[in-house]
Amino acid sequence: MSEIKLSSLFELETVEAGIYRGQSWDLGFRALFGGQVLGQALAAAYETVEKDRVAHSFHTYFLLPGDAKKPVVYDVEIVRDGRSFSARRVKAIQNGRNIFYMTASFQVPDAGMEHQSPTMPDVPPPEEVQSDIEFYQAHFDKIARPMREALSYHEPVDIRTVDAANSYQPVKREPTRYIWMKARDTLEGGLSVHQAALAYASDYHFLSTSLQPHGVAVTDKSLRIATIDHAMWFHRPVNMNEWLLYAMESPFSGGSRGLVRGQIFNQNGELVASTTQEGLMRKVD
């Protein structure tokens, strides 16, 4: 079991009304992991809404690279509180500069018409898929030193990439990827914590799906890759203590940008969330 608890990432310090501070995890990337800011910003927004309201969507822009060695301050603006919906705008700040913006919308749960078009992809169950941590440990000499030192911070979410061996090879393949994910230790707390945790995990392996048709590995030293924007919609209640399947696809890349879309299913085949992200993908000499 991991010693680092996923829930601790979303336990924010209240600086004053509407302003919160979150501690950072260094995952061994070039900059602060975008999923951390997504999850913490959502957690900060939740601090300012009534308890009967549930997040149903957020839209974000990443403006500057974050520093994984420093905490992040979140400034929450109350945009609107209506009878059914609330809107919040969140600024993430480091070193006095805005590194990220989120606009999040919350709703009082309500019944209505329902339908679901996509079906859950037919992939091996999580019990038959090797965890990413085991895959990294088996190829320890091939991963970058910062990543080796940060492996413990990847453990709180059990990520299992279907066909992982091919996903990280610089060979051309279809722009689709499937990963199973859940909290490694039991995640305590209400729906807000589980949504923040899913927002965090939704950034894992997402943009790199756009690299697959080009035969470029995410470890390529000439590659510059960074998230520009990320949106997420929550359709049903989320439980990160149970396995979720994240189905990703990249419909387009061009202009040094890649576009990815994701659908997240529970093991009953129900669509619980959808994601979209665009990011920078550039090869440099």
Give the DSSP letter of residue 124: -
Give the DSSP letter of residue 205: T
Q: What's the Cα-to-Cα distance from 127 to each of 28, 124, 162, 238, 280, rounded to whole Å?
A: 27, 8, 11, 20, 34
**Residue 195 main-chain phi, psi, to 5 deg:** -65, -40
Choosing from 203, 209, 263, 275, the catalytic residue is: 203
Nearest to 150 by CA among 15, 278, 27, 8: 27
Choosing from 161, 209, 227, 275, the catalytic residue is: 227
Indicate if 277 belongs to the active site.
yes
Residue whose structure tokens are 């919160």: 20
Indicate if 227 belongs to the active site.
yes
Choosing from 40, 161, 212, 277, the catalytic residue is: 277
Q: How far apart are CA 136 and CA 78, in angstroms?
A: 42
By CB atoms closer than 10 A (0-12, 13-18, 19+), residue 140 is exposed
Q: Which residues are catalytic?
A: 203, 227, 277
